[in-house]
């Protein structure tokens, strides 16, 4: 199973390709993507790298964590599973409804 790696404190100029190149010396990178703001399309300063081999991924985490790029020390760790952020139910407020 592929290991998903969180990479934080990235310079805002970092591209997906830059991220891929940063991790590829440690092994095969299946994907590397910078998370961007959906309104401005600018980097949010973090991204995710997916590596197929767990051993290579652990070496990459150790090798890249704390590395400085453009004066910023990277924060690298195994990514936590994504939480479901959809709202649960609702109502409330009564806006747009008949109150009487």
pLDDT, tens digit, 9 for 90 and up, residues 53-72: 999 999 999 999 999 999 99
Residue 20 CA to residue 58 CA, distance in Å, equals: 16
Q: Is the pLDDT reported for residue 98 higher than 70?
A: no
pLDDT at 83: 77
pLDDT at 2: 84
Taking residues 17-26, what's their average pLDDT? 98
**Residue 42 Cα distances to 33, 34, 37, 39, 98, angstroms:** 13, 9, 5, 8, 42
Q: How confident is the model at residue 87 (pLDDT cuts 50, 70, 90)?
A: low
Residue 15 is given by DSSP the state -
Burial class (CB in 10 A: 0-12, 13-18, 19+), 90: exposed
Domains and CATH numbers, the chain: 3-78 (3.30.70.330)
pLDDT at 76: 98
pLDDT at 82: 75
């Amino acid at each position: 199973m592929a290991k998903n790696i969180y990479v934080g404190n990235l310079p805002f100029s970092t591209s997906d390709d830059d991220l891929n190149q940063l991790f590829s010396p440690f092994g095969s990178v299946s994907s590397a993507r910078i998370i961007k703001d959906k309104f401005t399309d600018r980097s949010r300063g973090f991204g995710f790298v997916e590596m197929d081999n767990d051993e290579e991924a652990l070496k990459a985490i150790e090798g890249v964590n704390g590395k400085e790029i453009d004066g910023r020390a990277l924060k690298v760790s195994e990514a936590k599973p994504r939480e479901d952020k959809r709202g649960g139910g609702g109502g409330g407020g009564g806006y747009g409804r008949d109150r009487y």
